[in-house]
Chains A and B, each alone.
Chain A
Amino acid sequence: MKKKEARVITCIICPVGCRARLTMKNGKITEIEGLECPRGEEYVRRELEAPVRDFFTTVRIKGAVIPVLPVRSTQPIPKDKIMDCVLELANVVVDAPVQAGEIIAKNPLGLGVDIVATRDLDRVKER
């Protein structure tokens, strides 16, 4: 028996926030209801097939005024890799000074993106 399932995905492309009701068969969409424009359909298909997200977190930094450095990925990463990526960066410690844009982790997990600093942090003089 082929399984029929239903799913609801909220389109976040514009403030209208349409809720797409999907009917699916074997993981394929057979019907989409509730979207008000074609941009929504494109979004919903991408969300279903290969959802990606911007990635950002902090890593530890030594020798700066604050102990954490904010970082981001240069491109969005697959949604289901967010937590793996967080864990991959959990033990990273960098040394100040750091400049925004500097690569903090190169191609983690082979995702094809780099993790870069999003702010400058100067080195503070040791007391």
Chain B
Amino acid sequence: MNGRAGNRRGPLEGEPAVLAEPPALALHGVTHSYGAVRALVDVDLDVRRHEVVAVVGENGAGKSTLVGVMSGVLVPDAGEVVVDGRETQLTSPGQARGLGIATVFQDLALCEDLDVVENLFLGQEIRFGPLLDEVAMEREAQRLLAQLAVRVPSVRAPVASLSGGQRQAVAIARALLGEPRVLVLDEPTAALGVTQTAEVLTLIERVRDAGFGVVLASHNLTDVQAVADRVVVLRRGRLNGEFDADVAGYEQIVAAITGVAIGPGEGR
């Protein structure tokens, strides 16, 4: 419709050093349906290191479904997933994780009854023989949280006792554990206040600067414009435009999201 032609970054533009390597994660022609609901139709997406790609769209546009495909939770009906230039079938969350794709889910996927350390290492516990090495995990947790400047009342407090912002930070910290290549975040600021949102956005920038590829699914354009390098619009499960975040205007993106055509003079 619109937008797609406008600011699409050509494959030969940009920094050659980064472009020389294949995308850290790429999706080609991904299609997925829930029964009669076509949640994704022929979607392409790629993310490189040192880059924040925002996936925006209205509620129900298919963002979480796309995140599900990237995180191994959903096996799409069709399409291929390419990790570091190699085609792969992502069939389980553990496998995606093993390939360096870490996800912060919309609901955070924390276990409320477990404490912060237990949640950080959930599914990837450090062991000492057959037993869990709680000391090593706690030390690593302290180091990671300090590095991300995340403050929690106690690393041994159950996650149920943390605030929304703290939970979000724990979920992001968990995703960063074990040095993934790609960080996928689904609506990371939807449940947060202003201060906490700012903290999470800073965290995302820090992660990008550390060399990760970041996919940020969000319907909050303010957040997206604050951190994204590239904006991909989903509308009713289809790609509906791709923009360079530095160049594209707010109205232009909104138009792509809502599907309302704008006149040539209206977009900035």
Q: Do A and B come from one complex?
A: no
